[in-house]
Copies of this chain bind each other. A is one copy, B any other.
Amino acid sequence: MNGAEALIRTAVAAGIDVCFTNPGTTEMQLVGALDAVPEMRAVLGLFEGVCTGAADGYGRMTGKPALTLLHLGPGFANGIANLHNARRAHTPIVNLIGDHATWHLANDPPLASNVESLAWSVSAWVRTTKSARELPADAAEAIAAALTPPGGAATLVVPNDCAWDEVAGPARPVLPGAARRVPDSAVEAAAAALGGDAPSALLLGGAGLREAELLRAAAIAERTGCQLVCDTFIARLERGGSLPVVTRLPYFPEQVREFLSEISQLVLCGAGEPVSFFGYPDGVGRPTPDGCQVVELAAADTDIGAALDALAERLGAGVVPARVPGERPAAPTGALHPGTIGQALAALQPENAIIMDESATTGFAYGAVSTNCPPHTLLGLTGGAIGQGLPCATGASLACPERPVIAFQADGSGMYTLQALWTQAREGLDVTTLICANREYRILRVELGRAGIAEPGPTAESLTSLRDPALDWVSLARGMGVPGVSVDTAEALVKALEGAFAEPGPHLIEAVF
C-alpha cells in the first residue's frame, strides 16, 4: 500500500474514525486512501475553518481526536482561528497538512510557504514527515501527542511523495502520555484553603466540569461552604437537571475583581488563575485582588478527577444529595431582546441537548435562566477567535448524532464560518442554529465606550454595524440547503424553536431584535 493508505489505517487502528477535510491536489492520495479505508468517515467542509472547528467540537464531545486534512500552508492558515480556540480548550486534534513533494519545495512553487511556523502557533506537536517509510510511525506519534494531557493539536505535515510512495503497512498505536498525578502537598494546601472559615471558591476547568467531577466538587462545597466557579468561557460544561450549579466568572476584569473581592481563598482545579480577557488602561492583567490567595490543586495536565477524589477524602466530604432543580422558565411573550431570547431557549431546549454558545452579548442572559433546564452540555468560545460556533456545533453533532445540538450564535461571529451550514445539510445533522440578529458587533459598541469613545462617529458606527444592508440569514441558509425562518417576536421564536426541535435535520432561526 502507499503511505497515504498506511497513514489512514494507522489512524483507524488508533481508534480515529472521522476526518474533516477540504483537500487539494497534494492530498489526492489521501483522498484515495479514504476510499480504501471505509472505517474512516470523511466529511467535507467548504472552508478549512469549518473543518478545524468541527474537529474541535468532535474532540470536546468524544475526548478523542478527529483528523483534519488540509491543503498546504494557506489551507491550514484558514483553519488556524478555530485551532486557536481548540488550543485553549485542550482539544485533541490531529491535523494532516498535505504539502509539496519533498524534492519540490526547493523550487519554491507558488503554493509553498513556511507551514511549520504556521503550525506551531496552534499546535502542541508538529512534525514534517521525511519519507513514506516514516509516515505511519509519525502518524501514530501524532495521535499519541494529541491525546497526551492536557490534550492538544498535533500537526503532521505530509509531503506528497510520502503519500504516494509505497510502504510496508500501518504503524501500531503509540500510548499517549499519562496525566500527571497531583502531589499530596497540593491536596493538603487546597484542603487548608477550603477547610477554614474564610470565604473560598473552587475554580473548575477542563475535566473538572464533567458530571462525576462536578458531583465530587459539590460534595466538597457542601462540606466546606466554598463556591463552585468556572471561567467565563469554558471548553465544556455539564449542567442542568440535578447537576450542581457552577457560577461563571463575569467577563470584564473589574467585574472579576469585584466578584473575587469576596473570596479569600481561590483553589484552581483544571483552570488557571483568572486573566483579563483584554487589558485596559487601568492596567489590570490579573484581576485577582490582593486579599484573595490563589492555591493550585490541579493543573490542566493532571488527573483532575483523582485530585478531586483526594481532596474530598482529605476533607471528609461524602456523597451529596442530588440537587432538586427548580422550575424551568415558561415560554416568553412580547418583544425579542437578550432576556426573551435566552428565556425561549431555556424554556424549550430538548433533554440532553448540546449547546454551542457563541451568542456573545445576547447570551449572557441565558446562563441564569437555564440552570433548571434538563441536563445539557454547554460548549464555549474558549479562545475568543470568533467563527467557532457553527463549525463546532457541526462537529459536536457528528460526535453525538443521537443528541440535539443547538448553535446559539451571534450574527457577526456566525458570518465568519457560515459555510458550516452546508456541511450540516449534507450530513443531515440535527443542529438548530439560533442566530441572534442584533445586526451589530454589539460587544464593540460596548468596547468603544470603554475606550473613551462615548459618542462613536460615523466611521465607528459603520464599522460595528451589520446593517446597510442587513444580513438575511434565511436566504444564506437556503443557499446552503438549510431551511430557515426569521422571527421578531418571542411568540414566533417559541414556535420556530418548537418546530426545529420536533423535526430532525438542520434548521436555522434568525431572531431579529
Interface of A with B (CB < 8 Å)?
Answer: 21, 23-26, 28-29, 31-32, 34-36, 38, 42, 44, 46-47, 49, 73-75, 77-78, 80-81, 84, 88, 100-101, 103-104, 106-111, 113-114, 117-118, 120-122, 160-161, 164, 233, 275-281, 283, 285-286, 382-385, 387, 412, 415-416, 418-419, 422, 425-426, 443-444, 447-448, 450-453, 456-460, 462-466, 468-481
Contact = CB atoms under 8 A, between A and B. Distances in A.
Contacts of A450: 28
B117 A120 contact: yes
A481 B471 CA distance: 7
A420 to B, nearest CB: 11
Contact of A278 (B21, B109, B462): B109
B469 A31 contact: no
Nearest to A4: B451
Given A44-B463, A422-B471, A471-B480, A451 B164 contact: yes
Q: Tell me which of A104, A110, A470 has the highest count of chain B C-beta atoms within 10 A of its own C-beta.
A: A110
User: How many copies of this chain?
Assistant: 2
A23 to B, nearest CB: 6
Contacts of A73: 80, 84, 121
A467 to B, nearest CB: 9
A26 B278 CA distance: 8
14 contacts: A28-B447, A32-B448, A44-B465, A46-B412, A73-B84, A74-B80, A74-B84, A77-B121, A80-B118, A107-B285, A111-B385, A117-B117, A416-B419, A476-B476
Given A117-B117, A472-B479, A462 B44 contact: yes
Contact of A34 (B34, B463, B472): B463
A481 B459 contact: no
A285 B426 CA distance: 38
Nearest to A108: B275
Contact of A103 (B24, B106, B279, B385): B279
A121 B113 CA distance: 7
Nearest to A443: B25
A506 to B, nearest CB: 10
Contact of A476 (B106, B457, B480): B480
Q: Tell me which of A73, A81, A462, A471 has the highest count of chain B C-beta atoms within 10 A of its own C-beta.
A: A81
Contacts of A34: 459-460, 463
A28 B279 contact: no
A235 to B, nearest CB: 11
B468 A479 contact: no
A29 B104 CA distance: 45
Given A277-B109, A278-B160, A285-B107, A81 B74 contact: yes
A481 B469 contact: yes
Contacts of A286: 107
A285 B479 contact: no
A385 B84 CA distance: 21
Contacts of A118: 77, 80, 117-118, 121
A457 B35 contact: yes
Given A78-B81, A121-B113, A100 B31 contact: no
Q: Tell me which of A42, A444, A460, A474 has the highest count of chain B C-beta atoms within 10 A of its own C-beta.
A: A460
Contact of A453 (B28, B457, B465): B28
B275 A78 contact: no
A463 B422 contact: no
B479 A103 contact: no
A52 to B, nearest CB: 11
